[in-house]
Chains A and B, each alone.
Chain A
Amino acid sequence: MRRLPVYFLLDTSGSMFGEPIVSLNNALSGMINTLRADAQASETLWISIITFNREVKEILPLTDLQSFQLPEITCPQSGPTFTGKALEFLCKNVKNDIKVGTPEQKGDWKPLLFLFTDGKPSDIQKYNEFIPKVKKLNFAVIVGCAAGNTADVSKLKRLTDDVIRLETTDSNTLKQFFSWVSETIEHGNKSIGTTDKIQLPPPPSEDIIVI
């Protein structure tokens, strides 16, 4: 069976403290439940969650959806956003996790990456250093999500053409965003030829803008 690996890089820096982190937890949990009820995803989806603030933490290593248990994601009251460090961590993990097709081994579907941030990288040099390395990892799609008006869209644009802008980090917007994410994931396991990237579904509301 082919696995569809999906990576979430979630910004849990100080600015997410309070309502945003609560909304993020609820939205993630809603998304996971939606995916559990999706026939295709329930059998093939593998999820990894990595959070970053001053520290990069692997909240969950790549785990199949059936045995997946979503832990509560917390964040400190203040502190920097080490997005670069998170990308560095991601590169190491993806290289270890992903099974490529050989005559003896079934290859995974190309992995998907969702990077969610409400700010900008505090470690810009490392961030820039790891952008080309992440791009080389053969993701079927990298979605950058700039949440709220303090998020820096231009930095995300350097990483991927597919940037989504959320007007706010309130619970309704995050819920809609993650429901859109689950739709994107459901598109992830189709034969797409050797070079094509997957097409993103249209955004669900005016609070969510594809840039």
Chain B
Amino acid sequence: MVNDFMKDEKVHEIYTSIVELETEIMKKWKIQTLVTAFKNNGISTDNGTEKVPYIYTFPHNFLEKNNLIKMNCVDLDKFNLTYNQDTMTIEGTPEVKLDDFFTIEFLVDGEEASEIKHQKQVKLLINPDPKSLWKDIPSDTNALFWKEDDKSEATKIGEKSIVVSSKRGRSHKNVGSFRDDDYAFKYFEDSEWTIVAVSDGAGSAKFSRKGSEIACSETIKCFENVAIKELELFEEEFNQFIDLKEGKQLEQAKETAIKAIYKVAVHAHTEIEKIASETALESPKAFDKTKILNKADYFHATLIFIAFKKINNKYVFLSFGVGDCPIGIINKDRTEAKLLNWLDIGKYGGGTRFITNREIFSSKERPIVSRFNVYITEDFSFLFLMTDGIYDAKFIVEANLEKTEKWLEFIADLEGRNEDNVTLDFSRDLNQLEENLNNWMDFWSKGNHDDRTLAIIF
């Protein structure tokens, strides 16, 4: 009966068309499924950065994996990018877009090329150029302990010269805060001693700008008023050593020297404490951090200083350091560099020690005496004192400060091997040198935007 029924021409025709419709519906359904699957597939391309050439190529099996026969990325021009269909690459130099999408037009398996295209929105993120984000907000000149944003000097000191520059970092300009770094130096014509001090105020301490200033200026003051006199004995002992070449005498001389400059370090510490308590009496409201009990903690600052003099045709260096600022010296023929202090570097960023920490004078793990150094050499080409604003960017890690080649690279950088084509010519005019150092100090280094202070004795 069924056979007879199917033989009916009309019925057969209807049956065939049902089968055809079913096939067509299944085909459409399959297409629909593929389209939905691709639309729901979270596709992401790499983020870009404004002004930095961008290139993103879709994986080679992208079409296959997503059951596509063809795709095109349109409206990329709003990002200032283009799409190459042959290489499946998005490229160009984009503009900032934090919340925008581009469109992928596509065809899935089973579709005819002439059919209507489907669209999918894909987020593309273009970060702003980091250099363009930094603001330059002036510091408040009426604020307590305001200090000038940038400071520099260059002058002769006996047979040598010094050029030094201290600049407010981008991170401080960005929020209108103050330069926390400082320096001070003095050449004493009569005794022929030179002393140079560099200090970095803690970013988190409210009056660290003053702390670093006091640390440096009081170092100079105490060296002048107390240490120079006491170092006369050192000189005597040192000269005896030169005459007799007895190691014991050298040890004796070193001890005398350290005793003298120990007083300078203690003085810097106590002066900050003194000014902190005085300020707390005058302006109690300024000390508003309930968690901080010790007033000197508002003035946290590191301190490095070095005193030197040519005695008996030898250069003698007496140094002290607390914190993470290095003192480095390069020999006359530039073949050997030496780090003269050890750095207080914590496990985490910013974890250093300060001249304001009382514990540094009584620590058993890091005896105060280890913070002093006496170094003697025939002559030298460069002596550097710097804050971490320079060291973090140029030496990156502490271990590099022990490597001569890193110091030589640093000198090469100063002498012109740098992106900005700034050249410091140490044989030329000091004013020009100072200006060039000030320009050099503005170097760009990702993530390193602290205050920068660099003193060069040559």
Do A and B make up one complex?
yes
A-side residues, CB < 8 A to B, are 1-2, 4, 33, 36-40, 42-44, 65-69, 71, 100-110, 138, 140, 189-194, 196-199
Contact A189/B202 with A37-B133, A67-B46, A69-B47 known, Cβ cut-off 8 Å: no
Chain B residues in 8 Å Cβ range of A103: 345, 397-399
The distance from the CB of A136 to the nearest CB of chain B, in whole angstroms, is 13
**Contact B128 A43, beta carbon cutoff 8 Å:** no
**Contact A105 B46, beta carbon cutoff 8 Å:** no
Contact A193/B354 with A39-B170, A66-B47, A103-B399 known, Cβ cut-off 8 Å: yes
Nearest neighbor of B356 in chain A, beta-carbon distance: A193
> What is the bound-complex CA distance between A196 and B206, given in angstroms?
13
Contact A42/B349 with A1-B447, A37-B128 known, Cβ cut-off 8 Å: no
**Contact B133 A101, beta carbon cutoff 8 Å:** no
Identify whether the interface residues of A are mostly helix, strand, loop, or mixed: loop
Give me 19 A-to-B residue pairs in the complex whose CB atoms sit less than 8 angstroms apart, sorted by A's number. Answer: A2-B349, A2-B392, A38-B133, A39-B130, A39-B135, A42-B133, A69-B125, A71-B42, A100-B348, A101-B345, A101-B346, A101-B347, A103-B345, A107-B346, A109-B348, A109-B350, A192-B203, A193-B353, A199-B204
**Contact B127 A107, beta carbon cutoff 8 Å:** no
The distance from the CB of A47 to the nearest CB of chain B, in whole angstroms, is 13
B452 at the interface (CB under 8 A from A): no
B-side residues, CB < 8 A to A, are 42, 44, 46-47, 49, 98-99, 123, 125, 127-128, 130, 133-135, 170-171, 174, 200, 202-204, 289, 291, 300, 345-354, 357, 392, 396-399, 445-449
**Contact A100 B447, beta carbon cutoff 8 Å:** no
Identify whether the interface residues of B are mostly helix, strand, loop, or mixed: loop
Contact A191/B202 with A100-B347, A109-B350 known, Cβ cut-off 8 Å: yes
Contact A192/B350 with A40-B171, A105-B397 known, Cβ cut-off 8 Å: yes
**Contact B449 A101, beta carbon cutoff 8 Å:** no
Nearest neighbor of B347 in chain A, beta-carbon distance: A100
**Contact A44 B447, beta carbon cutoff 8 Å:** yes
The distance from the CB of B409 to the nearest CB of chain A, in whole angstroms, is 17
Chain A residues in 8 Å Cβ range of B349: 2, 4, 101, 106-110, 189, 191
Nearest neighbor of B49 in chain A, beta-carbon distance: A66
